[in-house]
């Protein structure tokens, strides 16, 4: 009996420790909201303008982006900037028809008088970081603007951003992402709220309070000398943008975030694409944490910067904690109803832990972001329960990615499939999805389904025991796993049924062959 009692105590202790740690990360989000409102008026302002427009290079990295390649090249050529001071580099690592589409579009743009350079690599050494570094070797610009293939930069974006570099301390300027297909589906609406929280609250809070922020890989500009001073693009992590950002700021470079300047992009409209994107971000974040956090903590930076860097770079830990929380839920419920039935303190701790996790996970953080974007929060409030569901539902995918990143090797940079959607595009994009290489693993999808059913049994148990406080939150958790698993299976089924996968080219040669086409 004594050993059984000890086992119960261990289970309960683990459960409460997981809840407490998640609550700490949740409280950190509240602190970001506090910092945002405290420093919201500390907005970056231009101190002067360049007398003569500086030379600028726009880099457009792409890999198998046949549905959006032409659009981004044409959009870049429409940017309002003196043509004799602007160079556009199309950095194409593609192995499919994107090569012909991009090359043909570049030829047409050059014929129209634009300085467009087409650089095609026949292997993907270093992936996106390798492509950016390769382009930098021949780039003529003093400032480097980067746009991923699914973005549509507005024509006046350079005019709004470049003069911030008059301050010689500024090394990077980041614009805010907007969303072309926010209203397309429940999945894209929820993703938009997730990203709004990051861009509206998180970035602004860090940057305006003097803490480190990160470049987001696209819709931003670098001073070339800043990239070089920080050691250039590294490809030992899958988040080369996060890696370079911290190295540059440790060197003393100043970053600026301009939320009023936006560049719209496509949100993944399909679950497998969304999970692929989340996997890469989680894995790369864990890799960057392992690589840089020790040196950041050992640096002479102020404590506020170190603390924020710690929470930022270890945020992937929450995926493991959510997974542990869901797995320990049924034993914890059993303890509450049978072992601690007469212990008011323990029962109260259990109820508070569930409510604490749910409230700390999202509510204030995301409500504040929607309030700032739309000047109202009523419309977005109805999506907050599903936002929590989705966050729990992808925890297994992201926990696996973070484990690979922190304990494994770098791995392959798996691109997020782009479908060329904009606005409420109906289902036309689905005809293209079968031609994409799906990254989700079937075994993982079955595990997500099993977890959803397991949590559904927890819901049934709470109803049977009349524990009404836990019913709502456990139902959200169960729906999250079932939704993620269901859309994963649907996406895989549709991909097989709609199209046979595009034929893959043979293996890339060992040496890197570069093709440069200049005006």
Q: CB of 90 within 8 A of CB of 119?
A: yes
Give how far the C-alpha of residue 219 lies from the chain's centroid of Cα atoms, to the nearest Å. 13
Render the burial of 299-324: b for 16+ CB within 10 Å, e for the rest. Answer: eeeeeebbebbebbbbbbbbbbbbbb
Please return the burial class of 295, using the count of CB atoms within 10 Å of its CB with bins 0-12, 13-18 and 19+. Answer: exposed
Tokens of 53: 């427009």
Residue 27 main-chain phi, psi, to 5 deg = -65, -35
DSSP assignment letter at 81: S
Q: Which segments of 139-202 does DSSP mark as H helices, in order?
A: 157-161, 186-196
Tokens 């028809």 appear where? 97
- Of the residues 93, 150, 243, 439, only one is catalytic, namely 93
What whole-number distance in Å separates Cα of residue 228 and Cα of residue 17?
Answer: 44
**93 is known as an active-site residue:** yes
How many other β-carbons are positioned within 10 Å of the β-carbon of residue 363? 18
Residues 6+ apart with CB under 8 A from 340: 12, 346, 347, 350
**351 is known as an active-site residue:** no
> Please, what is the end-to-end C-alpha distance for the chain in angstroms?
83
Residues 6+ apart with CB under 8 A from 63: 92, 93, 94, 98, 124, 127, 128, 415
Query: What number of H helices and E strands is found in the chain?
Result: 21, 8
- Of the residues 92, 150, 196, 241, only one is catalytic, namely 241
Point out the residues that are catalytic: 93, 241
């Amino acid at each position: 009996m004594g050993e059984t009692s000890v086992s119960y105590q261990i289970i309960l202790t683990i459960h409460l420790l997981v809840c407490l740690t998640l609550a700490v990360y949740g409280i950190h989000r509240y602190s970001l909201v506090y910092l945002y409102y405290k420093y919201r008026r500390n907005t970056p302002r231009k101190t002067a303008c360049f007398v003569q427009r500086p030379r600028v290079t726009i880099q457009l990295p792409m890999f198998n982006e046949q549905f959006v390649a032409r659009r981004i090249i044409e959009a870049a050529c429409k940017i309002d900037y003196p043509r004799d001071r602007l160079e556009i580099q199309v950095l194409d690592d593609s192995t499919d028809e994107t090569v012909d589409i991009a090359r043909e579009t570049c030829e047409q743009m050059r014929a129209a008088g634009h300085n467009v350079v087409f650089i095609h690599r026949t292997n993907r050494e270093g992936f996106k970081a390798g492509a950016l570094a390769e382009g930098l070797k021949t780039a003529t610009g003093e400032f480097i603007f980067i746009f991923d293939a699914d973005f549509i930069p507005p024509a006046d974006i350079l005019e709004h951003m470049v003069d911030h570099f008059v301050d010689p301390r500024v090394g990077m300027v980041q614009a805010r992402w907007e969303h072309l297909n926010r209203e397309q589906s429940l999945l894209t609406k929820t993703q938009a709220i997730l990203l709004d929280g990051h861009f509206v609250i998180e970035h602004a809070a860090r940057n305006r309070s003097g803490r480190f922020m990160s470049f987001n890989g696209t819709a931003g500009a670098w001073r070339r000398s800043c990239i070089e001073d920080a050691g250039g693009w590294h490809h030992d992590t899958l988040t080369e943008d996060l890696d370079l950002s911290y190295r540059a700021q440790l060197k003393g470079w100043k970053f600026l975030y301009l939320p009023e300047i936006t560049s719209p992009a496509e949100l993944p409209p399909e679950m497998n694409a969304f999970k692929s994107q989340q996997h890469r971000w989680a894995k790369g974040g864990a890799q960057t944490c392992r690589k840089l956090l020790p040196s950041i903590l050992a640096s002479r930076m102020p404590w506020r910067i170190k603390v924020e860097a710690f929470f930022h770079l270890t945020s992937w830990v929450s995926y493991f904690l959510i997974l542990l929380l869901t797995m320990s839920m049924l034993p914890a419920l059993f303890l509450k109803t049978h072992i601690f039935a007469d212990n008011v303190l323990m029962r109260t701790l259990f109820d508070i832990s569930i409510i604490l996790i749910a409230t700390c996970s999202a509510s204030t953080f995301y409500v504040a972001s929607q309030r700032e974007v739309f000047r109202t929060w009523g419309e977005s409030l109805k999506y907050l329960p599903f936002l929590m569901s989705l966050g729990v539902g992808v925890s297994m995918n992201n926990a696996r990615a973070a484990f690979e990143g922190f304990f494994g090797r770098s791995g392959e940079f798996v691109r997020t499939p782009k479908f060329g959607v904009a606005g409420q595009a109906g289902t036309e994009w689905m005809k293209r999805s079968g031609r994409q290489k799906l990254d989700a693993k079937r075994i993982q999808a079955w595990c997500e389904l099993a977890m959803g059913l397991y949590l559904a049994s927890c819901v049934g148990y709470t109803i049977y025991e009349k524990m009404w406080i836990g019913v709502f939150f456990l139902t959200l958790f169960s729906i999250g796993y079932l939704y993620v698993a269901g859309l994963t299976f649907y996406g895989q089924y549709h991909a097989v049924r709609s199209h046979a996968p595009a034929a893959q080219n043979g293996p890339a040669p060992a040496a890197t062959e570069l093709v440069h086409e200049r005006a």
